[in-house]
Every structure is written in C-alpha cells, then in structure tokens.
Amino acid sequence: MMTVADIVGRIGRVARWEPDARGRLAEAALELYAERGYEQTTVADIAGRAGLTERTFFRHYADKREVLFGGPMPELVEAALREAPAGEGALAVGRLAMLAAAGALPPERRPFARKRQAVIDATPALQERELLKLDSFARLIDRALTARGEEPAVSRIVAETSVALFKVAFAAWIDGDGGNDLTTLTEGAFVALGRVSAG
C-alpha cells in the first residue's frame, strides 16, 4: 500500500505552516474569532491585528470564512485519488484519500487546528460548512471509485465510510493529548473498522 509520504512525494507538495503574511492573517483571525466571535469580526479587524492592510488580506483569502476553509486538503485528496495505483481495492483507495487529507494537518498545525475547531464549534453556520466540506470529500472518493470501475453501491459505501473514519480520527486528534499524529489516527480508524465489522 502507498503511504501518505509517497503521495506527498509524488505530488511534490508539502503542506506546512508558513509564518508569513498568510499565516499571520490566519493567526490574527483565529484570535479575534475566539475573543469576539466569528460574526463580530471584520476583515479590517483581522488585517489590523496582523499589522497588514485589507488589500493584503484579500490577496490571500477571498473572505473571512476562507481563513478557516482555505487549506490544501481538497487538493491533496484529489491528488491521492488521481495517483492511487490501479491494483488497489476500493477501501484501500478511500484510505489513501483520507491519509492524504491527514497529510494536510501535520503535528505543527495542531494548535491552529484546535483553535479553529473551537471557533467552528461556537458557530452553527461554520459547523454546517465543515460538514459540507467533508461531504465533498465523500463525493470525490465516490466519483474516483466509480471511474475505476467499482460498483456504484460499493463506491458510495466506501466513500462515506472513509470520510466517517477520517472524522473520527480528526476528532481524536483535536481532543487528544497530541501524542498521536493525525495520519496515525487515520490509519488506526481504518484498522479498527476491520475489527468492528468482523466482530
């Protein structure tokens, strides 16, 4: 089976936190969302807190929501699906896609991800946006598996199950003590599914 390192290597991209204008804006936005609430924070507030202009903000993010949803995860999922070896079974392909998603959140991103999650948990509209994002990954996996010749029923089940397992791993990563990285937790969820559905 391919590892996430293989995938990241193949697509020549490493998702990492860059402490530049983009990163400063994201940190400032999260601080303000946590302090005042998401709704009460404006782009001007965020730019001000980061010591940058609104124009700079809009060079990096389309709007204040994109600060929370503008990460490389969808591209990494798509790349993993494109690059998944022809011989892999359906669940193995779903697993590769979700390991690629996990690769978008290396350990050093955990403090940001935790703050982001706290903001999302406090804002129903953002919770719904987050669910819709996960749902879009299921649709990507479903489409890729169907294109690989899997039965539609199998494609859908694997797609939804893979995303469900990633959700579980992500929650464990956010809520846990940081001892396990997201990739390990995602692997673990796929292994646990095998145990649960056999037992």
Gap between the Cα atoms of 161 and 190, Å rounded? 9
Q: Which residue is associated with the tokens 């011989």? A: 87
CB of 1 to a copy of itself, least distance (A): 14
Contact map string, positions 81 to 110, toward a copy of itself, x by CB under 8 A: --------xxx-------------------
Can you point out the beta strands (E) in the chain? none
Instruction: Candidates 10, 127, 143, 147: give the one binding a copy of itself (CB under 8 A).
Output: 127
Give residues with Cβ within 8 angstroms of 19, minimum separation 6: none
Nearest to 174 by CA among 121, 113, 104: 113
Gap between the Cα atoms of 97 and 24, Å rounded? 29
> Is residue 132 part of the contact set for a copy of itself (CB under 8 A)?
yes
Tell me if 101 sits within 8 A of 76, measured CB to CB: yes
- Report how far apart, in Å, the C-alpha atoms of 79 and of each of 14, 63, 144 are: 13, 25, 11
Gap between the Cα atoms of 9 and 13, Å rounded? 7
> Is residue 189 part of the contact set for a copy of itself (CB under 8 A)?
yes
CB of 158 to a copy of itself, least distance (A): 6
> Is residue 60 part of the contact set for a copy of itself (CB under 8 A)?
no
40-48, 70-78, 106-114, 149-157 -> range binding a copy of itself (CB under 8 A): 149-157
122/168 with CB nearer a copy of itself = 168
Instruction: Candidates 34, 167, 174, 184: give the one binding a copy of itself (CB under 8 A).
Output: 167
CB of 56 to a copy of itself, least distance (A): 30
**Residues of this chain that bind a copy of itself (CB under 8 A):** 89-91, 124-125, 127-129, 131-132, 135, 153-154, 156-158, 160-161, 163-165, 167-168, 171-172, 188-189, 192-194, 196-199
